[in-house]
Amino acid sequence: MKYAFLVCMALVLATLAIAADASYIGAWKLSAATLAPWADPDHMPDGAEPTRLIGKTIVIAARQISGPRPFACTAPHYKVGDFTPDRLFQGAFDEMRFNDKRVDPNKIAASLGFAGTAIKTLETGCEIDFHFVDATTAEVGLNDYVYTLKKQ
C-alpha cells in the first residue's frame, strides 16, 4: 500500500512538473523567414514556401499541433530541454563545424538571436522542433529556412 502511494505521488509530481513548463502552449504566428546558415548557396531553396507560411498561425495544444503543413501534428510527444547551439536545428550547426573546423556553432546561434549555451527547446516528436529565443519568440528550421514565430 505504501509503495502504491509513493508511485502515485511520483506520477502526480511528474505531471505537475511537465504542466508547469507548458509555456509553449498557445498560438504562435509565423512572422519571418531567413535563409538558413546551413543552406547551400549553389542550390537555393524554393522561395514559394516562406510566402505560403508567413502570417499563418500554429497552435500548440496539449494533445495536438494545428496549423499549415508540415507543422500540424495529431499526436505530439512533447519534451522540453536545454540544447547547446551545436544541437539546434537537428544538429545542423554541428554538421557545419564537422565540414569546416572554423565554424563556431555558438556564433551562428548568436547571429540568429540565441543567447548563451542553454537554449530551451521543445521537441514535438513530430517533424518540427521549436527553439526558443525568449518566452515570446521561437525559431524552427524547415527546408533551408529559419522561421521566426511570435507568441500571440
* Total tally of structural domains belonging to the chain: 1
Please say whether the beta carbons of 126 and 117 come within 8 A.
no
DSSP 8-state code for residue 85: G
Q: 110 lies in which domain range?
A: 24-151
At 46 the pLDDT is 84
Q: Copy the grid coordinates of residue 40.
A: 547551400
The amino acid at residue 81 is G
Model pLDDT for residues 66-119, shown as the tens digit of each residue: 999 999 999 999 999 999 999 999 999 999 999 999 999 999 999 999 999 999
Do the domain assignments include residue 14? no
- Taking 90 as the threshold, does the pLDDT of residue 144 lie above it? yes
Do the domain assignments include residue 109? yes
Do the domain assignments include residue 11? no
At 2 the pLDDT is 57
Alpha helices in the chain, H assignment, sequence order: 2-20, 48-53, 88-99, 105-111
Q: What percent of the chain has pLDDT over 90?
A: 80
Do the domain assignments include residue 10? no
